A and B are shown apart, each in its own frame.
Chain A
Amino acid sequence: MLNVGQLNEGFVLDHIEAGKSMEIYRYLKLDKLDCCVAIIKNARSNKMGKKDIIKVECPIDMLDLNILGFIDHNITVNIIKDGVIVDKKVLALPKQLVNIIKCKNPRCITSVEHELDHVFILTDPEKEVYRCKYCEEKYTGHKKKH
């Protein structure tokens, strides 16, 4: 496998569905970070055939990874400190999403007042349903594959 240098401190996001790494890059706003980010596409995987991997070198309190639970909770998150894996984060569906996804209901107040946060609440954890806090419209956009 292609080797992209070892991290001293940061995250390795493994088992990303092949082709989804750039989407995650955008969701996590990694473009805003002034640190080393490596994106590996189509790496060989025994489990998945092909997968993407993202490595981020940054202080471990710098990233909010809760959003990953919304995108795909099968992603493995390894937390690296002093060059070794110190923790593996278990991803869960976040109870609330703020400014991650947008309400598409043309009748929603967020469609006309653009300074408002787009807030979605997890209303049915079993069916993974998120609804707009304001108009209760169900989010039907991008959803991860299982």
Chain B
Amino acid sequence: MKHLMSPLDFSVEELDHILDLANDIENHPEKYAHACAGKKLATLFYEPSTRTRLSFEAAMLNLGGSVLGFSSADSSSAAKGESVSDTIRVISCYADICAMRHPKEGAPMVAASKSSIPVINAGDGGHQHPTQTLTDLLTIRSLKGRLNNLTIGLCGDLKFGRTVHSLIHALVRYPDIRFVLISPEELRIPDYIKENVLDKDHISYKEVERMEDALPNLDLLYMTRVQKERFFNEEDYVRMKDFYILDKKKMELAPSDMLVLHPLPRVNEISVEVDEDPRAVYFKQAQFGVYVRMALILTLLEIEC
């Protein structure tokens, strides 16, 4: 039985297989419409995340399965003080697979260690968010045609932005990847990512503060939201939240084939006027998220169609 805690839990070959499967699902949805009939997905969301939760639920429903779960810690037994270990032991009796989001880092790993069903990390604090990474990889591969030889701008909250951390981990396994890390000094990428991933694998990267300086040289711009819930101090959040705003004028600096990705929800960091630009693919990205979660569920449940 396999769990998904980090994008690195899959080899590049296994990832390729999941992305191929997701593309096949996209092209032949009817073939998979009953693949998970009789199977149940538990969505254990200890903090609110409409998007990720609904994406998982849509994925399971598209496969003909059913879903159960909770969408905040208040409506779960956690409010009564139950441990993650105990909760997953119980949920293992009710469902065939589980997706867990938790504000505390490492909670899904604790669950996986006690679970008798596959556990998918659907985001743990500022740590990892592997299914967003699978979504990003599928989006990039489908729309760029490759996952190698790319210059990728990561912009915004690179300190607490787990989607960015996970994406870096996943992309460094492909050849000729270059990063431009665009953030205010306070929200720079953590040292452990620099030391253990970028420096260790001799990945080319530079850190800049101005988005305008980076835009002309990018194949992809990955925007992130500054997340209020990651700050202990309201004052710091207010100071950082509108640091970057991508608008039509800035898009004029970017190459004609540069893609703009965003894990969503977007607040102010991408102006709505950018939505009409064909390079803005963040809503397509959300659709790819469903396909890749379908592929992941099939893979972890070892269902072949």
Q: How many whole Å from A135's CB to the nearest CB in chain B?
A: 4
Q: Would you list which residues of chain A between 99 and 132 have a CB under 8 Å from chain B?
A: 105, 107-113, 115-116, 123-124, 127, 129, 131-132
Contact check, A133 vs B196: say whether CB atoms are below 8 A apart.
Answer: no
Q: How many whole Å from A18's CB to the nearest CB in chain B?
A: 33
Given contacts A134-B109, A135-B127, A136-B127, contact A111 B192 (CB under 8 A): no
A110 to B103, CA, bound (A): 12
A138 contacts partner chain B, Cβ-Cβ < 8 Å: yes
A135 to B126, CA, bound (A): 9
Contact pick for A124, options B102, B107, B127, B195, CB 8 Å: B195
Q: How many whole Å from A140's CB to the nearest CB in chain B?
A: 10
Interface string of B186-217 (1 = CB under 8 A from A): 00000110011000000000000000000000
A-B CB pair tally, cutoff 8 Å: 55
SS class, residues of chain A in contact with chain B? loop
B12 contacts partner chain A, Cβ-Cβ < 8 Å: no
Contact check, A112 vs B104: say whether CB atoms are below 8 A apart.
Answer: yes
Contact check, B105 vs A134: say whether CB atoms are below 8 A apart.
Answer: yes
Contact check, B196 vs A113: say whether CB atoms are below 8 A apart.
Answer: no
Contact check, A108 vs B195: say whether CB atoms are below 8 A apart.
Answer: no
Q: How many whole Å from A126's CB to the nearest CB in chain B?
A: 11
Contact pick for A109, options B110, B126, B191, B192, CB 8 Å: B110
Which residue on chain A has the smallest CB distance to residue B105? Answer: A135
Residues of A within 8 A of B110 (CB): 109, 113, 116, 134
List 19 interface pairs A-B (beta carbons < 8 Å), by A numbering. A105-B105, A107-B125, A107-B127, A108-B104, A108-B105, A109-B84, A109-B106, A109-B107, A110-B106, A113-B83, A113-B85, A113-B104, A115-B83, A129-B195, A132-B106, A133-B106, A134-B109, A135-B105, A136-B105
* Interface set of B (CB-CB < 8 Å, partner A): 83-85, 102-107, 109-110, 124-127, 191-192, 195-196
